[in-house]
Chain A
């Protein structure tokens, strides 16, 4: 498909020549588009940010007017983002880095975006999870509060921007965009538990933002640039007397990202928040911890990598794997101690973040590749889990306490879905969770921490399996009495809203995400080849730096600035 379509676009461009708005980045050496997204004339890298922004803004108006088109527009925009992400993945799989100069200003003076294999993979993952979440919300969750869909689209914009940007301050801005939207989404259909979790979540993240700003401005003061590629070059040439300050800034940045990624001393906000959010929001939040993981992966390779040189090289290389291992252990204990299904799932998210950060912290090509492979599976399965947990608690009269309770209808579909999701998340053969962990263990054997990694990853997997089988047997194998009056009252008072009846959208969304989990296992060959290539690209910083700093602005077809200068000159001569 890709060859046929790019061939068509080649012909179009041969006839018309490069269009005035065409970004040179999307053009190959001969000035020909290498993109299958030729229709966007070289603006395809910024499209995943613009599309949700437009959709969200339209949705604000539609929601205000109470239009019936809200659901259609939201779903269509999300599916379009999915198509766009697939196109960008195909484009990035060529191995090139595609920079995009916002406002046609050359890096490092303007803000640059850059698409490489890793960001394309995360974009696609975001789009898949978002499609499932938005489909699920159409089953009734979106009508429990105002502006669900517009906030949802703004969150997607923030996520896409964070994955694409090559500018540190721009990364901060996109973090704030996605956080601001997430505050609104978390409060959606507010209850008491949700409000309490929101206060904690917002305060915690605002402190994180303050630290982020300090780190960014400190780096600017030392290196005089905010472009990540330029920073990578400049940090290696710092004066020795600035070394300590640079290290402090690097570690502050890593603390900020560790807050988002839920690393050990900073993950305590996550279980409460994720357990309190409504199901589609929690499913979307499954990708939010991955923003932190992505940012750590990008920083520790591009700017603070062991091979990067300078005072900040390997700033957290010692601490990161150890903290990740400790996170894994505590998450496994949290999963064992969970009394509610959603609490259990939230700890599974923490465990997956721990595994991912372990893979990135070990920092060899093999472990990073395995980590990225595991990232795909763990994100999809975490999103599916949040939706499934909501369906299970709805079938049990609105409670997800892990104790015997009668199910409102047949256990078979829910039980089978629970089984598939449990197998995928715990890392049992034959699904991709197992493949990812096995690959990680194989790759970790050559690292100094090998014994600890093998013991703790396997041990935490066992603990998760125990926790999941205990939960499954309590939920499905012990048909208890129908919920009595007192417990029913207790659960509504704690802030959970009345359960929604089953809707085709619910079944569709859960099946979609579980199918994606199964697909990631079936397509393990191509997927692992892609993540191996992505890891290799991530660890080689030079092509990224060259692409971003080498991108040149398009010569304007119509030079407004020149014309303005001439006009000013004419006016001066008249005087």
Chain B
């Protein structure tokens, strides 16, 4: 389970970074999206992965982290998802505008002279 999660985060982050290093805005945006998925999973994993634990409180059990999942990273992930989602939307709007104006989706706003 842990290995699967770690491999998943690593793959997502790796693909994200590779796409980010490309010179088209669309690739860069996809890369950022993958990177933010990796980050969100990473935050989630930092609260220790538990299978079958109650999110906050379970009836009849005392509230300690031994019995429940850590609720704080879940709250952090929620904030991070909202922020990265809206920022991606902003970036998409900027990229579309730049594409419309420059007639090129190169990140520098013009095709490289080859």
Interface on A for B, CB 8 Å cutoff? Answer: 169, 173, 176, 179-180, 183, 187, 190, 192, 195-196, 198-200, 202-203, 206-207, 209-210, 213-214, 216-218, 220-221, 226
Contact = CB atoms under 8 A, between A and B. Distances in A.
B84 A196 contact: no
16 contacts: A190-B97, A192-B102, A195-B98, A195-B101, A196-B102, A196-B108, A198-B98, A199-B25, A202-B94, A203-B32, A203-B107, A207-B35, A214-B42, A218-B46, A220-B76, A221-B47
B91 interface: yes
B13 to A, nearest CB: 9
B53 interface: no
Contacts of B107: 199-200, 203
Interface string B56-92: 0000000000000000110010011001101110110
B98 A199 contact: yes
Contacts of B28: 203
A278 to B, nearest CB: 16
B46 A180 contact: no
B97 A220 contact: no
A317 to B, nearest CB: 26
A209 to B, nearest CB: 7
Interface of B: 20, 25, 28, 32, 35-36, 38-39, 42-43, 46-48, 72-73, 76, 79-80, 83-84, 86-88, 90-91, 94-95, 97-98, 101-102, 107-109
Nearest to A191: B101
Contacts of A198: 94, 98
Contacts of B25: 199
Nearest to B90: A183
B101 A202 contact: no
B8 to A, nearest CB: 15
A203 B91 CA distance: 8
Nearest to B65: A224
Contacts of B95: 199
A176 B83 contact: yes
Contact of B20 (A179, A203, A216): A203
B101 A210 contact: no
Contacts of A187: 94
A220 B72 contact: yes
A183 B36 contact: no
Nearest to A213: B39
Nearest to A196: B109
A180 B73 CA distance: 23
Contacts of B87: 176, 179-180, 202, 206, 209
A213 B37 CA distance: 12
B76 A169 contact: yes
A206 B43 contact: no
Contacts of A196: 98, 102, 108-109
B20 A209 contact: no
Contacts of A199: 25, 91, 94-95, 98, 107, 109
Contacts of B38: 210
A225 to B, nearest CB: 9
A202 B36 CA distance: 14
A206 to B, nearest CB: 5
Nearest to B32: A206
B90 A217 contact: no
B35 A210 contact: yes
Nearest to B109: A196
Contacts of A195: 94, 97-98, 101-102, 109
Contacts of A206: 32, 36, 84, 87-88, 91
A210 B79 contact: no
A217 B32 contact: no
A183 B90 CA distance: 8
A55 B107 CA distance: 35
Contacts of A203: 20, 28, 32, 91, 107
A217 B76 contact: yes
Nearest to B102: A192
Contacts of B91: 199, 202-203, 206
A203 B83 CA distance: 14
Contacts of B101: 192, 195
Contacts of B35: 207, 210
* Candidate in A183, A199, A221 with the most chain B CB atoms within 10 angstroms: A199
Contact of A183 (B79, B84, B94): B94
Contacts of B86: 180
* Candidate in B25, B46, B48 with the most chain A CB atoms within 10 angstroms: B46
Contact of B84 (A202, A209, A214): A209
A262 to B, nearest CB: 20
Contacts of A176: 83, 87
B17 to A, nearest CB: 9
